[in-house]
A = this chain, B = another copy of it.
Amino acid sequence: MSRLASPIRRVTLHDVARHCDVSYQTVSRVVNNDPHVAKETRRRVLRAIKELNYQPNRVARSLVTQRSNLIEVITFGGQHYGPAQMVTHVEQAARQRGYNLILTNITRMTLEEIQAAIHSLSGRLIDGFILVTPVVGVGYEELAEICGNIPFVMIDAPQQSTAPSVVINQRYGSQLATQHLIDLGHREICEISGPMNWHGAVARHESWQQTLEAAAITPGLSVEGNWTPIGGYEATCRLLASGAHFTGLVVGNDQMALGAMRALREHHLRIPEDISVVGFDDIPEAICFEPPLTTVHQDFAALGRQAVEYLLDLMNRVDTPLQQRVLYPSLVERQSTRHV
């Protein structure tokens, strides 16, 4: 007995129809909950379906209906906390609505890669895309061109974009973090930013700067990291080597904050006695950092749900407006910050 998928003939509408002596169309009606079926007939058909263990062939259905109930998620950096979190919740929301998810995780966020990803499953009759596009150089117009007439929603699109997108207001989050330090009396505040080709990094950086300036404080030095713990460590070492004096440090994400705290400690700076540190993301580890990290919480679950909801609207309702739906992060105060 071979284990190779043998060409076992699946049971079809016709088989069911024959089995209970109706036409295949009637069976189709029962399967699709068409009301124009006599009660007694429906009963008979349903029993036959169960007896024969009939499963509608979704491929054949797709061929005629021109829709697949498939959503493709194209993401970048799927191994990181944020994206992984989003994907999980997008999947959950999609499945609840009867859609399955095709996942494509690209390794370089360029238009070419996106194009290749979309191309690689063109012809699958994908109903819609969710694009996690956190880096610059991937704009709405280009994407619209690539996606053709298939609706899509962007996550992590540039703020204020006219593209259909769902975002968390990064500027607001960074303002929250920075203002928190200001409120604690800090006047010398530096930053470890994310890679500046990410929208989020730019937004957080600019907002850090503007919040300080609004409080008539000259921004301290800002050093660029790469989102990783080691990146944060190295960036902080560079910052310290520059001789800059500061009492507050705003870090682009929690992982880098972890590295930053390590670097600070190695330079015999205590947290929060000497330096207050605030992160971004609120990863599950943050609460157990040494000390527990004050950070900005982002609701990735809501983000994922919203994206799916919006996409389904775009797919199924004419004239859903193209807009940017904005969620707001919140500050979580822990022990890595204190009054100066």
Contacts and interface: CB of A to CB of B under 8 A. Distances in A.
Interface of A: 2-8, 55-63, 66-68, 70, 78-79, 84-85, 87-88, 91-92, 95, 100-105, 107, 120-125, 127, 149-151, 228-230, 232-233, 255, 258-259, 261-262, 265, 284-285, 287-290, 292, 314-315, 317-320, 322
A145 to B, nearest CB: 13
B66 A123 contact: no
Nearest to A123: B58
Nearest to A78: B88
Contact of A5 (B8, B88, B150, B255): B150
Nearest to A80: B84
Contacts of A87: 78, 103
B68 A79 contact: no
Contact of A255 (B92, B255, B285): B285
B58 A288 contact: no
A131 to B, nearest CB: 16
A176 to B, nearest CB: 23
A314 B59 contact: no
A72 B121 CA distance: 15
